[in-house]
A and B are shown apart, each in its own frame.
Chain A
Amino acid sequence: MIRLKVHGVLDDPNTENHVVVLRKEEGFEVLPIWVGSVEGHAIRLALEGVVPPRPASHDLLRDIARNIGLVVTRVVVTDINENTYYASIYIKANDSEYSIDARPSDAIAFALRVPCPIYATGDVMKHRAGETLDVWLKRLDSHNFGKESMRFNCDENPSRSA
């Protein structure tokens, strides 16, 4: 199990989707996950600490868990199958632990709001996206970096881990 933090949310210039960049807490290894624009936006808001005037969907999810007293222990990116990532949310209630199937986008948006730690299995890190970091970084237009909405920090050379 590898602990990750959300490094940033990028716009994929080829589609309307966003790319959530998860990064190993110590080291340069990253796990890019393509998510829908709605979920990407939800993650970005949480990263930036924006509190909307009315609760958005993931805020409601957090409020439900918080109000009824569920303890969210962690979210884990558990699997990748045919380019689809799978995640689980782990909650504790009544001395039992439950795992709930979720899309990674929802799991991450939720984890940032709770907040709780984010992990990926070693297997997922090994098979991530089926391509190297260099390839997907090249696909991203350089002009996307440095935009106001960009929170991706290019201070290290990610290819070192690829």
Chain B
Amino acid sequence: MGQGNVKWIGRKGSLFKKNLMITQMKVRGLMIDPHNSSYVVLLQCEESQEVLPIWVGKPEASAISCALEGLSSPRPMTHDLMKTLVDSVDAKVLSASITDLRNNTYYAKVHIAYGNSFFAIDSRPSDAIAFALRAEAPIFVSEDVIQKHDDEEVDRWLENLKPEDFGKYEV
């Protein structure tokens, strides 16, 4: 797992090496779970097309969707503030990584470089993703999480999706 391991910083290509046990994923989109009207962020591995759905709250979904669509609000939103805070002292957001899945809860970390040190800060995946998108930092998912993720459950969920569920969310 990449946590605490800073060797890969700045060398994006090397991140795909399987021995590091993390996979870079992109935010493919946001959608509404038709079963309970909650919001889902779809992460997708560009190489394997593997998809990881992560359920998030409405405010965080809105924060992610603003970043995806490149919308900026007249006043800084909470995740914009995070970025301003980091930028103001010349710290750098290196990545967001989804590190664990326990009891149906995903855990994430935000990796920041400041001065000569590196920091891994515990976060919800939703905040980490919203933050990473604004900082244009890569998003990684540990292989462990992908394995733990119950394929059967996703398949069942995907089977129930209708095409019109895509793109149906409010900013």
Contacts and interface: CB of A to CB of B under 8 A. Distances in A.
Interface in B98-116: 105, 107, 110, 112, 114-115
A106 interface: yes
B114 A68 contact: yes
A1 interface: no
A161 interface: no
B135 to A, nearest CB: 11
B124 to A, nearest CB: 5
Interface in B78-132: 78-79, 81-82, 84-86, 88-89, 91, 105, 107, 110, 112, 114-115, 117, 119, 121-124, 127, 131
Nearest to B118: A68
A64 B88 contact: no
Size range of the chain B interface in the assembly: 20 to 34
A136 B145 CA distance: 51
A89 B160 CA distance: 46
A58 interface: yes
A65 B76 contact: no
A38 B59 contact: yes
Contacts of A98: 88-89
B101 to A, nearest CB: 13
A60 B78 CA distance: 10
A64 B124 CA distance: 13
A100 B88 contact: yes
B76 A106 contact: yes
B89 to A, nearest CB: 5
A50 B115 CA distance: 33
Interface in A61-90: 61, 63-65, 67-70, 84, 89
B75 interface: yes
Contact of B89 (A56, A93, A102, A110): A93
Nearest to A58: B78
B84 A101 contact: yes
A60 B121 CA distance: 8
B112 A61 contact: no
A89 to B, nearest CB: 7
B76 A101 contact: yes
A54 B107 CA distance: 9
Nearest to B106: A54
B77 to A, nearest CB: 8
23 contacts: A39-B78, A55-B123, A55-B124, A55-B127, A57-B59, A57-B78, A60-B82, A60-B123, A61-B85, A64-B82, A68-B89, A68-B112, A68-B117, A91-B85, A91-B88, A94-B89, A98-B88, A100-B84, A100-B85, A102-B81, A102-B84, A106-B81, A110-B81
Interface of B: 59-60, 63, 75-79, 81-82, 84-86, 88-89, 91, 105, 107, 110, 112, 114-115, 117, 119, 121-124, 127, 131
Closest 9 CB pairs of A and B: A68-B114, A38-B59, A98-B88, A93-B89, A57-B78, A67-B119, A60-B127, A103-B75, A60-B123
